Amino acid sequence: MQDADLVSLRGPVPTPRQLGYHMPAEWERQESVWLVWPRDPLTWPDRVEKARGTFLNAMKAITPHQRVDLVVHPDLLADAQAAVSAAHIKHVTFHAVDHQDSWIRDYGPIYLTKGPAEKRERLAVRFGFNAWGNKYESLLKDRSVIEQLGDKVGSPLQTVGMVLEGGSLDVDGQGTLLTTKQCLLNENRNPDMVQGDIEAHLREYLGIDKVLWLGDGIQGDDTDGHVDDISRFVAPTLVVTAIEEDPNHPNYRPLDENAHLLRGSTDAHRRPLRVVELPMPKDVHDDEGKVLPASHANFLITNGAVLMPTFGGESDAIAQRRLQQCFKDRAVVPLDCRDLVWGMGAIHCLSQQVPATRFRTDRGAVDDVLRNLKVEGMKTDRLARD
């Protein structure tokens, strides 16, 4: 990046970093979770109703602990309200918005915070969305969702001149960001930006201090390697990462290389990372035999539960046990995502958390979570006994 570019980046409008904002970790206290009621038959061929059923199951797990903000196409509002009511789900706020698809993680706002836990300020940033490298023209319509929500976004909004999807990154809330070269350095996103430019934007607009670059994602992923299918922070210095145990599988080498990179990495505070392995499920195929991007790593952390995708195989129980050992303060809830993954993603891709601005915490700062965390009965780099 040239000096002139830095001047432009840090121009008259202060960046979130300059204002003191940063992207919090997903396990920090949340106010609500955004979901978008499924409607696109191209995304879920003959499975839209089944996908809605999975959404209802997800809301049942989320709403005892926090609100769900549910975006619904105006034509489907009455039906969605009836379905939620019939399922006896409360604490759902409906927002009638003209949209095409449900991947709000990638086209919705990304929230930042600043200030003490008891009274945080919140800011939303809006990156560009080009339907994962202009793969789906009809889904470019969802670029208008944030505008339609207006003040319902719940925070001041700052626009960033860079294409970025929320599923392409994961953070520890303490300055460290995980992403992949396959996605963020792909020419179909920001062809005029090199790695240094992208890192500068992540620092300034997400309040990040260090970027950890992994390599490639999993087979079948049409997002070009989103990190939320492979590696996730679950506590400061603790990362879970997907592992393929079959050395002949196409996922074996890239996932093994990513795990090796993580084991040799430190966070923004120079603390070595601890790595817990999540097994990959057996391949899930569509009717034409195409491999779908099924991964237990696409879990959603909420205030009282961690919603972990399951796919009906032996790896479901193993992944749940390993993940539960990482979360001492909330239950890991299995969520059958066999219908969702037909749309090329799972529950994390289909959601976006909104951090709380006012809350009390029993454990204090996130450093207390690190201090209290014990990964029991396993080595953090590999779980030998399940």
Please report which helix (H) or strand (E) contains residue 256, including its range.
helix 252-263
Q: Is the dihedral of CA 139, 140, 146, 149 positive or negative?
A: negative
Surface-to-core class of residue 1, CB atoms within 10 Å of its CB (0-12 exposed, 13-18 middle, 19+ buried): middle
Please report which helix (H) or strand (E) contains residue 141, including its range.
none
CA neighbor of 275 nearest in space, from 379, 171, 177, 168: 379
CA neighbor of 307 nearest in space, from 50, 61, 126, 17: 61
Q: Is the dihedral of CA 15, 17, 19, 24 positive or negative?
A: positive
Rounded to 5 degrees, what are φ and ψ at 53?
Answer: -60, -40
> What is the Cα–Cα distance from 376 to 62, expressed in whole angstroms?
26
Rounded to 5 degrees, what are φ and ψ at 76?
Answer: -110, 5
Catalytic residue among 183, 326, 337, 349: 349
Surface-to-core class of residue 175, CB atoms within 10 Å of its CB (0-12 exposed, 13-18 middle, 19+ buried): middle
- Verify whether residue 349 is a known catalytic residue: yes
Q: Which two tokens stand for residue 307?
A: 């919603």
Surface-to-core class of residue 307, CB atoms within 10 Å of its CB (0-12 exposed, 13-18 middle, 19+ buried): buried
Strand partners, 95: 71
Q: Which two tokens stand for residue 201?
A: 């934007």
User: Do 354 and 34 contact (CB within 8 A), yes or no?
Assistant: yes
CA neighbor of 169 nearest in space, from 158, 155, 183: 183
**Count of other CB atoms within 10 angstroms of residue 7:** 9
Strand partners, 43: none
DSSP category for residue 227: G
Q: Which two tokens stand for residue 283?
A: 């391949």
**Count of other CB atoms within 10 angstroms of residue 157:** 16
Q: Which residues are catalytic?
A: 349
